[in-house]
């Protein structure tokens, strides 16, 4: 059982994601991006290199400036998304990254650098990011709040 959010939890998701070859075919595949996450008061950097998610680390807020894009929601909204994924095996239409980005006034994805070229990686690799979070359905998760 891994606590969400924690490096241990992201490592577990990473292991599932990297081991499932189905995530590489049919529109998945090579992805090179540094994804920042703001979950409640905690920040993480997730590295995607080629066909794998190669690293996950907990960082200071200020370190998120290195991220190509940052996904930010309240802890409650993250929990809702992760629970939905666990229940369905993948995000339903109300909980995909695309839906959450469209449905929130402040959006889900943004950056600290304002470089549109890098921000657009959120769209270019949207399905891979979705696969990554969908992989969490196979990780036993406990929530800290």
Footprint of another protein (CB under 8 A): 25-32, 49-50, 93, 96, 98-99, 102-103, 114, 116-117, 120, 123-127, 130
What is the spatial distance between Cα 30 and Cα 108, in angstroms, rounded to a whole number? 23
Least Å from the CB of residue 52 to another protein = 10
CB of 21 to another protein, least distance (A): 14
Do 71 and 36 form a contact (C-beta atoms < 8 A)?
yes
Are the C-beta atoms of residues 139 and 10 closer than 8 Å to each other?
Answer: no
Tell how strand 42-49 and strand 33-39 pair up. antiparallel
Identify which of residues 88 and 144 has a Cβ nearer to another protein in the complex. Answer: 88
Compare residues 27 and 144 and give the one whose CB is closer to another protein. Answer: 27
User: Nearer Cβ to another protein, position 96 or 141?
Assistant: 96
For residue 91, the minimal CB distance to another protein (Å) is 10
């Amino acid at each position: 059982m891994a606590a969400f959010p924690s490096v241990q939890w992201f490592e577990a998701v990473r292991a599932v994601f990297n081991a499932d070859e189905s995530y590489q075919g049919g529109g998945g595949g090579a992805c090179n991006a540094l994804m920042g996450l703001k979950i409640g008061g905690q920040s993480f950097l997730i590295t995607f290199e080629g066909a794998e998610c190669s690293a996950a680390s907990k960082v200071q807020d200020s370190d998120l400036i290195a991220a190509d894009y940052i996904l930010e929601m309240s802890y409650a909204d993250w929990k809702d998304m992760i629970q939905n994924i666990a229940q369905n095996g993948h995000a339903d239409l109300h909980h995909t990254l695309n839906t959450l980005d469209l449905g929130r006034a402040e959006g889900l994805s943004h950056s600290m650098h304002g470089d549109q070229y890098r921000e657009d990686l959120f769209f270019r690799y949207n399905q891979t990011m979705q696969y990554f979070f969908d992989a969490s359905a196979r990780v036993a998760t406990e929530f800290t709040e």
